[in-house]
Amino acid sequence: MAQGPTVHIVVPRADASMIAACLAALCTINTLYLRQHPHTPALAASGVRYRRETPWEREQFLSIPAVLDRGYGDCDDLACWRVAELHAHAIDTAARPKLVHISPRVLHIVVQRGNGLIEDPSRQLGMGATE
């Protein structure tokens, strides 16, 4: 079981501006968590896998301890964890979660690094392999 508080932000399916606000909040929460718990495994080494939320679920933005407890997260959870790693370890403090419109009703969250490079933690952790 993960140490520290478990934070869940639950919202109904929302517009992009509401999602962006939740992503920013979760990145801040996760960055603080990593600074307080420096022995937290890196996302890539954590054993966590990608799993998308089912269509009937409300959108949940899960903190690192919640994702560790579950063993999986969706794109917003994983991207915010990765951004927090980059911020907490001063690797790339300009990194941010980026919303990508897959279709008019489908958004995907990736990590945009300060140099413009895009990382997709969801793909790295199984997205596409299980869908």
Count CB neighbours of 92 within 10 A. Answer: 18
CA distance 76 to 74: 6
> Quick one: pLDDT at residue 14?
64
Residues with Cβ within 8 Å of residue 125, at least 6 apart in sequence: 43, 44, 48, 49, 50, 78
More confident residue, 55 or 18: 18
pLDDT at position 15 over 60: yes
- Domain positions in the chain are 8-124
Confidence of residue 83 (pLDDT cuts 50, 70, 90): very high
Structure tokens of 46? 């954590």
What's the pLDDT score for residue 51? 92
**pTM given for the model:** 0.88
Can you give the pLDDT at residue 46? Answer: 97
CA–CA gap between residue 92 and residue 105 (Å, rounded): 31
Average pLDDT value for the chain: 87
